[in-house]
Structure 1
Amino acid sequence: MKKYDKLVRDLIPEVIKKDGKECDVYICGKAEFTKRLEDKLQEEVNEYLEEKNLEELADVMEVLFGLAENLGYSENELLKKREEKLKDRGGFKKGIVLQGVK
């Protein structure tokens, strides 16, 4: 059996079973879940930095939604907070680099 020991998307066990294979899984507790989500975020960011594609960006976003929920926030609350910050401080679309303030 190939070993992984990593957090996977919720439907992965079913995908594996539909493929005619077996897998060992368990549901981790909140503290472990937080740590594994943070590890997964780093993994997905690294994959984005290598691949630079929309699929990897979507994976990063999904982990962010998981982290938000783990902290007690909904996806909508995270998106609302993003919109508030976008309105108040702007986004990252123009490429502005702050070099100093006098």
Structure 2
Amino acid sequence: MKVYNKLVRDKIPEIIEADGKYCKTRILSGEEYIAALEAKLNEEVAEYQKDKNLEEIADVFEVLQAICIARGYSLEELEALRAKKASERGGFADKIFLEYVE
């Protein structure tokens, strides 16, 4: 038996069972879900930092979207705020690194 005690994608139990294995799962409460998502975000960011590939970026993005929805926001609200901030303050495309201000 291998213990995971972590949030997994929705189809993971089906995949495990299709492989002929048994898994025990439970549905998290709202508070537990947000805490598990935040732990998952840390896990996915660490994996991205290690591997630096598109798959890990997609995983981070998926978790961020789930956190947004779990906290009661829509993805449309998120994108609108992102676009507003980019319009007002810019993005990161110019690669500007601020060293100091006097």
TM-score (norm 1): 0.92
The sequence identity of aligned pairs, in percent, is: 51
Report what 1:53 is aligned to: 53
Amino acid at match of 1:53: N
CA distance in 1, matches of 2:39, 2:27: 16
The count of aligned residue pairs is 102
Q: How far has the Cα of 1:87 moved from its partner? A: 1.4
CA distance in 2, matches of 1:9, 1:76: 22
**Is it true that 1:83 corresponds to 2:83 in the alignment?**
yes
Amino acid at match of 1:101: V
Q: RMSD of the alignment, in Å?
A: 1.2
Report what 2:41 is aligned to: 41
CA distance in 1, matches of 2:25, 2:74: 25
Deviant stretches of 4+, over 3 Å:
none
Greater CA drift, 82-91 or 37-46: 82-91
Amino acid at match of 1:58: A
CA distance in 2, matches of 1:64, 1:70: 10
Q: How far has the Cα of 1:100 moved from its partner? A: 2.4
Q: How far has the Cα of 1:76 moved from its partner? A: 2.1
Unaligned runs of 5+ in 2: none
Report what 1:14 is aligned to: 14
Unaligned runs of 5+ in 1: none
Q: How far has the Cα of 1:101 moved from its partner? A: 2.6
